[in-house]
Chains A and B, each alone.
Chain A
Amino acid sequence: MSHGHDDPTLHPEVQMSTSRGYFLGFAISSVLMLVATFLVTSHSMPPFGLLMVISACAAIAIIAQIYFLLHIDTSEHNIWNAVALVLFMPLFLITIGLTWWMFSQLYLHTMIMPGMPAMVH
């Protein structure tokens, strides 16, 4: 219930947004998505290389979206969003990292992986 801020378009974070930025963010992520889809459906790369390339596409898309769509930067009004993102990072690391660890251990115990030495009976 803040008085005096009745027009939400006057907020600095709204003032910062431009249609050029939104369009650019949308275009970059769409192009990257199309590239990834094309690479996957055309089977034109070996699996590991494919994984690396689409991961890189995803990373660039995330950065583009964070910058152009969410306007997260270190300017005075938006530093809060950047801080929130940084505080959220450990959760990404924990969930993705521990998932990766537990599943790699699981596969070690349950799957016959290509290139794995034959199981000792």
Chain B
Amino acid sequence: MLVDLAGGWNPLVGRLAWSQIPYDNPILAPLFVAVVLGALMLLGLITYYGKWTYLWREWLTTVDHKKLGIMYIIIGLVMLFRGFIDGLMIRTQQAWAVGSQSSGVFGALHGYLTPFHFGQIYSAHGLIMILLAATPLLVGFMNIIVPIQIGARDMAYPYLNALGLWLTAAAGALIMISLFIGDFAHNGWFGYAPIFELQYSPGVGVDYWMWTLQLVALGTTLGGINILSTIIKMRAPGMTWGRLPIFVWASLSANVIALTSFPALQVALALVAADRYLGAHFFTAGLGGNLMLYTNLFWIWGHPEVYFVILPAFGMMSEIFPTFSEKPLFGYVTMVLASIAIAGVSWLVWLHHFFTMGAGPYVNSAFSVATMLVGIPTGVKVFNWAFTMYRGRLTFNAAMLWAIGALFLLLIGGLTGMMLAIPAINYMVHNSVFVVAHFHSMLMVIVYAIFASVIYWFPKVFGFKLDEFWAKTMFWLFSAGTALVFVPMYMLGFMGMTRRLDYVFNTAWQPYLLVMELGIVVYMFSVFAFFALLYVSIRDHAKNRVGADAWGTSRSLEWITHSPVPFYNFAVVPQINARDEAAWRRENGLEHIQPDHYDDIHMPNNTGVAIILGGLSFTLGFALTWRIWWLCLLSLIAIIALVIYRSFKGDPGYILTAAELEKMEQEAIRRASRIDGGHHLRPVRGDGWAQERADLPAAGTLYGLSSPMDHHK
């Protein structure tokens, strides 16, 4: 043992002991029983209906980028729900534990959560929302949409894609298990030195936090490499850089950020691990350690990371506004340049997370100016979206409402961000809930863009639309919740309320805190509305089936293939003729053209290796957390052996013959013509799918200035 551990340790089970199971905790124990019963019921149902082989063959071993994307999104939604419950608990504690007269239950002096438990909840809330909800949701959408938008049949590395998903799942499982075995960290989602050092946090909470972050960082880096290679190497003929859909450009710039910045996080955490496991002192207060070096290293990654999550959200908005404005996106080139500029500047601003460190006026002014520079490309984007909608034929359906909501929140979050970029203001509101309200506004941009995208791309992936009524109900409830929670939070920030209070000393703040509690209850109703949305939509799916172009005004390439997208995406790789290919085909009367003949296609085989590696990584993380060395060694050796085995085995893939393909395509075309029923032209087979049509006029999308929409009914 290189470090002194508080509490027992034995070679067999490391630090694990019965006393680590919180069976006496009045909140966790009933939850644990409920989770176990729920899990048993789920497993029982799968067994009863005999779905294990289906689950294993079609989902757990799949390398299909759409199914992997759906699983990413399911993980993201589950974690979003968990993070929401954490938020609900935080809000309830702060509304309750106000003033010295407030009551206390469950061992807490005030409210219902002890300070130690409260610290774990806000740490888990932050980590989960950013890295296990927003990130998997966005990665999921990039996974599903990017290959279809560029005309590819799959990702460049299908197996790597599965590996990224299962590493993310392992990270999610690790943070979930910390609920019931041991504790979680109480050092905030980004961690503070030296509180996370072993002397000050002797438990396993920090170790859970650290290994969860490491796993999700690894998974996201692998996913980023895959998306970059896919965009660079797998584009369909004619899909030039100038014709790439904006969502693809946004994904490209976001993943450049991911690829370059995540290693900084992994190094920072590896140094924390050296401190906690090997007795090093990189971030200690003495012996040459430097506390602020940790903060510095963390935010070298942390700031680029927030743009890694916001850029895909901008990309989603750039797809949705043109579709429901029936106009090409305004300022395509400036949009691309703005994305790249945001990605570039994201590397120059990280000190604004610790202006109050005291680096002095020169450093603070330089980073202040750099931070404000971000406002220029972001402003360009906002004006581009506004000009896209200007004089457009707007449809205010649910997807559009969510996207407009994102735009409003971007204004609020962006302008408060400009305020925080001024060091003088930053010194005043540092560590206050004003900062919390600001970054929640920004993260809400992402949440709004994600729900807009769920509604927008759902019919492409599943073949039927979501119910408009419930989607709109959810939107209005969610927006009411947002206003009720975050407007008082901004106000409390100005009044000087600091963040992360488990006890609020000032009773004058209680009215605001009660309004915020009401807001979180309204949020809960929007969660119910989401469940209702899923239930009603699935119940009525037969009524809401759609053809290839689900919205009738769609613009980018994904809308020319069938809905739901077949596993091979495109039976014949299409020839791209214009920037908005689907809109161009519609304008030139080609939208009903199907390929005239089929060739054999080469597809990757499923593999169980990725999920097994995910399981082993979870085991490794768990063993490291509890310092069960034999299990660490065993799982590490197994991981290395399995990776080597898979590298030598490779995957020859399989051939889908032209005849099989033709049969499936015929079926899909028949289905589509039944749905469209006269509304659209009947699909016909002819040339024009995979041939360049230089004879037809180019769509007037140059810089988005002219719109050839007038002849469109």
Contact = CB atoms under 8 A, between A and B. Distances in A.
Given A6-B652, A8-B650, A91-B260, A103 B358 contact: no
Contacts of B603: 1
A106 B348 contact: no
Contacts of B260: 88, 91
B359 A106 contact: yes
Contacts of B362: 105
Contacts of A105: 359-360, 362-363
A3 interface: yes
Nearest to A110: B358
Interface residues of A, number: 18
B300 A95 contact: yes
Contacts of A8: 650
Interface in B571-626: 602-604
Nearest to A7: B650
A102 B370 CA distance: 14
Interface in B235-281: 260, 264
Nearest to A88: B260
Interface in A91-121: 91, 94-95, 98-99, 101-103, 105-106, 108-110
Interface string B284-307: 000000101100100010000000
B11 interface: no
B652 A106 contact: no
A1 to B, nearest CB: 6
A109 B356 CA distance: 12
A1 B292 contact: no
Contacts of A95: 264, 300, 347
Contacts of A108: 360
B653 interface: yes
B154 interface: yes
Contacts of A6: 650, 652
B11 to A, nearest CB: 29
B602 A3 contact: yes
Nearest to A9: B648
B369 interface: no
Contacts of B650: 6, 8
A99 B363 contact: no
Contacts of B363: 101-102, 105-106
A55 B218 CA distance: 28
Contact of A109 (B347, B360, B604, B653): B360
Given A101-B363, A102-B359, A106-B292, A1 B351 contact: no
A103 B293 CA distance: 9
A109 B359 contact: yes
A8 B650 CA distance: 9
A103 B360 contact: no
Nearest to A90: B347
A111 to B, nearest CB: 11
B347 A94 contact: yes
B154 to A, nearest CB: 7
Contacts of A1: 153-154, 602-604, 653
A39 B466 CA distance: 67
A102 B650 CA distance: 48
B296 A102 contact: yes
23 contacts: A1-B153, A1-B154, A1-B602, A1-B603, A1-B653, A3-B602, A6-B650, A8-B650, A91-B260, A91-B347, A98-B348, A101-B363, A102-B351, A102-B359, A102-B363, A103-B290, A103-B293, A105-B359, A105-B362, A105-B363, A106-B292, A106-B357, A109-B358
Interface of A: 1, 3, 6, 8, 88, 91, 94-95, 98-99, 101-103, 105-106, 108-110
Interface of B: 153-154, 260, 264, 290, 292-293, 296, 300, 347-348, 351, 357-360, 362-363, 602-604, 650, 652-653
Given A1-B602, A6-B652, A88-B260, 8 more contacts: A94-B347, A95-B264, A102-B357, A102-B363, A103-B290, A106-B292, A106-B360, A110-B358
